Amino acid sequence: MSQEVRNLEPKALWNKFADLNAVPRPSKKEERVIAFMMDFGKKLGLETLKDEVGNVIIKKPATVGMENRKTIVMQSHLDMVHQKNNDTVFDFDTQGIEMYVDGDWVRAKGTTLGADNGLGVATIMAILESTDIPHPAIEALFTIDEETGMTGAMGLKGGLLEGQILLNLDTEEDDEIDIGCAGGVDVTAVAEYDEEDAPADSVGYRITVKGLNGGHSGMQIHEGLGNANKIMNRLLYSGYEDFGLQISKIKGGSLRNAIPRESVAEVIIAEMYDEAFEFDMQEIINEIKAEFKTTEPNLQIVIEKLDQVPAKVLPSMAQFYLVRALYTAHNGVYRMSADFDNLVETSNNIAKVTVGGGNLKIECLTRSSVESSKFDLANALRSAFELMGCEVTFSGSYPGWTPNPKSEILDVLTAIYEKQNGSKAHVVACHAGLECGILGQNYPGMDMISFGPTIKGAHSPDERASIASAQKYWKFVLEILANIPVK
């Protein structure tokens, strides 16, 4: 499978991507890819070091004739989001990604592809290995754990890098040049409850929400995609109000930065409501499917009887507050930017809901390009969850990246893009969390820019990278390297 990817043009880029994707690298488990990258740098005879949090830095001198140009930092993150379809058998801890070519797209078999940000990493590797590409002095920065906390960028100390310009290769539309991004904060609500015995004469059901698109909780939050946790809560709310439904377990969503695609709940109802429950719930299912027929054509909501009735359930009042808090908690776009057209300023993703065994947990990722607005929404969520009796914590807060429209490197990129493509690039700020804002805290004078090839469906098993776009992007990268400003 990976051989057909290796045969794609530009070979230097796709070969390095195939090498990288052979190494397991889920977030928080980057030991193997760190070792892989350290070995790569050392085999090239380049200065290679690992900082105290695990970021890898490889330094390469300027090519002949480029010594008078400013030193650049080329940066991408090593980790990838590990998502798979429920029916895909795959172990992200031990297996490399299984890739294949589908027309203009490179895809993975039932899992995320890792093009986010593996194509950026592969680009830098190809430049480091090259002997015929003109470039200034390069400091290659490979950060860890971008997807689940940005701890690599946060832990990078000042003074390790000397570069004056940073090229972040983590943008996912090839006609965009990013000059700003949102910050984020994790909002977590937890509570304990005393399980109750299920009443006699009960019937058990499993409710499954699946088939949703999922996707990136920053870049795609404005698309009106279905959130499995919110859809499930509608079903549970109606079942509770109309039939006294009682919840035994819920497991919804997987990662904070992925819009949840699936949720499964085990519930009970009184046996006397059995037939009416199924009929009424089917009406609600039909309504929800009609609402999402355009954005979520593959949505499935399945209600099936359990062979064995769950033994334990939530207490009635705990359930009363849970379904209301989840209904109240904001999901999706909270505010659009007043300064940039079509830019989401503030949003929230209700990413995970877990209930069972006397514990419940709700996990959100709140994003904003305005720090005060980020915490305004986070406090609204805190209030909803505290009113239901949860302990709520904020963690992993990271800042946004304030745009600099007068950036010198921006002028270079926009001129090259227009010359190569006959049209202007879209200069934007994005709602995703890029590492530039964090890196800028310890390197405040660094001129930063972000760009990359077209990647669709990031953070979901539908992730795919455009082959034609990769060729366009590679040509763009080479011209940028040849036109870095003089010192």
Over residues 94-153, the pLDDT tens digits come to 999 999 999 999 999 999 999 999 999 999 999 999 999 999 999 999 999 999 889 999
Q: Which of 486, 480, 487 is nearest to 124 (CA)?
A: 480
Residue 301 inside a domain? The answer is yes
8 A C-beta contact, residue 370 and residue 376 = no
* Whether residues 190 and 88 fall in one domain: no
**pLDDT band for position 481 (50/70/90)?**
very high
Q: pLDDT value at position 23? A: 97
In the listed set 398, 426, 454, which residue is the last one of a domain according to the structure? 398
Q: If you ran DSSP here, which 8-state letter would residue 26 be given?
A: B
- Size of the chain, expressed as the number of residues it contains: 487
When computed from its CA atoms, the radius of gyration of the chain, rounded to whole angstroms, is: 24
The stretch 186-196 carries a mean pLDDT of 97
Pairing type for strands 426-430 and 196-197 reads: unpaired
CA distance 365 to 370: 15
Q: Which of 75, 102, 138 is nearest to 5 (CA)?
A: 102
Q: pLDDT value at position 220? A: 93
CA distance 86 to 139: 40
Mean pLDDT of all residues belonging to the chain: 95
Structure tokens at 338: 């007043």
User: What's the total number of domains in the chain?
Assistant: 2
Structure tokens at 442: 């310890």
Start-to-end CA span in the chain (Å): 45
CA distance 236 to 450: 43
* Whether residues 270 and 387 fall in one domain: yes
* Whether residues 330 and 448 fall in one domain: no
371 is catalytic: no
* Whether residues 292 and 366 fall in one domain: yes
Single out the catalytic residue among 79, 116, 174, 178: 79
* Whether residues 151 and 272 fall in one domain: no
Single out the catalytic residue among 30, 139, 146, 262: 146
CA distance 476 to 137: 18
DSSP states of 355-398: EETTEEEEEEEEEESSHHHHHHHHHHHHHHHHHTT-EEEEEEEE
Residue 51 inside a domain? The answer is yes
CA distance 157 to 436: 14
Supply the angle between the helices 11-21 and 467-482 in degrees, to the nearest 10: 110
Residue-wise pLDDT for 58-95, tens only, equals 999 999 999 999 999 999 999 999 989 888 999 999 99
Asked if residue 6 has pLDDT above 60, the reply is yes
Residue 487 inside a domain? The answer is no
In the listed set 336, 363, 398, which residue is the last one of a domain according to the structure? 398
Residue 41 inside a domain? The answer is yes
At residue 79, what is the residue type? D
Asked if residue 1 has pLDDT above 70, the reply is no
Q: pLDDT value at position 376? A: 97
Residue 246, strand partner residues: 268
283 is catalytic: no
Structure tokens at 160: 């390790």
Q: How far is CA 199 from the centre of its chain?
A: 42
Structure tokens at 164: 């004056």
Residue 312 inside a domain? The answer is yes
CA distance 425 to 73: 22
* Whether residues 162 and 274 fall in one domain: no
What is the phi-psi region of residue 200: left when phi exceeds 0, alpha when psi lies from -120 to 50, beta otherwise? beta
What is the phi-psi region of residue 352: left when phi exceeds 0, alpha when psi lies from -120 to 50, beta otherwise? beta
* Whether residues 9 and 111 fall in one domain: yes
Asked if residue 57 has pLDDT above 90, the reply is yes
CATH code of the domain containing 405:
3.40.630.10
- Residue found by looking up tokens 């004078």 in the block: 445
Asked if residue 462 has pLDDT above 70, the reply is yes
Q: pLDDT value at position 97? A: 96
CATH code of the domain containing 269:
3.30.70.360
8 A C-beta contact, residue 307 and residue 210 = no
* Whether residues 9 and 78 fall in one domain: yes
8 A C-beta contact, residue 213 and residue 463 = no
At residue 315, what is the residue type? P
Task: Please state whether the peptide bond connecting residue 403 to the residue before it is cis, i.e. omega within 30 degrees of 0.
Answer: no
Q: pLDDT value at position 18? A: 97
Residue-wise pLDDT for 265-314, tens only, equals 999 999 999 889 999 999 999 999 999 999 999 999 999 999 999 999 99
Residue 178, strand partner residues: 428, 450
CB atoms within 10 A of CB 272: 11
CB atoms within 10 A of CB 424: 11
Residue-wise pLDDT for 372-429, tens only, equals 999 999 999 999 999 999 999 999 898 888 888 789 999 999 999 999 999 999 998 8
pTM for this entry: 0.76
Sign, Cα dihedral of 44, 45, 47, 53: positive
* Whether residues 205 and 166 fall in one domain: no
* Whether residues 168 and 245 fall in one domain: no
Q: Which of 135, 138, 218 is nearest to 172 (CA)?
A: 218
Q: pLDDT value at position 298? A: 97
Residue 18 inside a domain? The answer is yes
Residue-wise pLDDT for 213-230, tens only, equals 998 999 899 999 999 999
Asked if residue 49 has pLDDT above 90, the reply is yes
In the listed set 376, 398, 420, which residue is the last one of a domain according to the structure? 398
- Residue found by looking up tokens 């065994």 in the block: 357
Q: How far is CA 484 from CA 113, 179, 329, 470, in A?
A: 31, 17, 47, 21
Residue 157 inside a domain? The answer is yes
Residue 333 inside a domain? The answer is yes
The stretch 163-186 carries a mean pLDDT of 95
CA distance 479 to 421: 13
Q: Where are the beta strands (DSSP E) in 12-120?
A: 47-50, 56-60, 72-77, 99-102, 105-108
What is the domain extent for residue 36? 3-181+401-482
Q: If you ran DSSP here, which 8-state letter would residue 148 be given?
A: T
